[in-house]
């Protein structure tokens, strides 16, 4: 149901996402903010920011949850859909500003798709 109040915790979380352009895993965020915020709070704020179209979530390697800033989404329209890249060496995750076309599927209706590409990032090449 999105964010209603401008709390300290919210400010701390948003600041963390402003520090870098990479995606952040929920786990890492919890670890980074462990002296300031409870993990339940972290999960709850992530949820709300996603509801509001400020962040989007996706699953990385091993099915763990990552979050990144949305580009032009709103509470009603999550339109910023794209593949993600995870470096197999350093673990860093980024949004890719490309589109992967999904073909028509016979006998099925595709509603959404998620693409995770794994490989080596520029630093680790």
Q: Which residues bind DNA (CB under 7 A)?
A: 1, 3-10, 25-27, 36-41, 43-45, 48, 64-65
50 or 94: whose CB is closer to DNA? 50
d(CA 39, CA 27): 9
Taking the complex as a whole, the smallest distance from the CB of residue 11 to DNA amounts, in Å, to 9
DSSP codes joined into one string, 30-41: HHHTTTTS-HHH
Binding site for a copy of itself (CB under 8 A): 59, 62-65, 83, 85, 88, 96, 98, 100, 102-103, 105, 107-122, 125
């Amino acid at each position: 149901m999105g964010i209603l109040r401008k709390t300290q915790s919210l400010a701390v979380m948003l600041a963390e996402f402003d520090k870098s352009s990479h995606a952040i895993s929920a786990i890492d965020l919890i670890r980074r903010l462990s002296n300031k915020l409870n993990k339940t709070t972290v999960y709850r704020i992530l949820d709300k920011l996603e509801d509001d179209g400020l962040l989007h979530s996706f699953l990385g390697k091993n099915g763990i949850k990552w979050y990144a800033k949305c580009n032009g989404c709103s509470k009603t329209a999550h339109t910023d859909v794209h593949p993600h890249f995870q470096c197999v060496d350093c673990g860093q995750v980024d949004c890719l500003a490309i589109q992967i076309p999904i073909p028509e599927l016979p006998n099925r209706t595709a509603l959404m798709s998620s693409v995770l590409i794994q490989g080596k990032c520029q630093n680790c090449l």
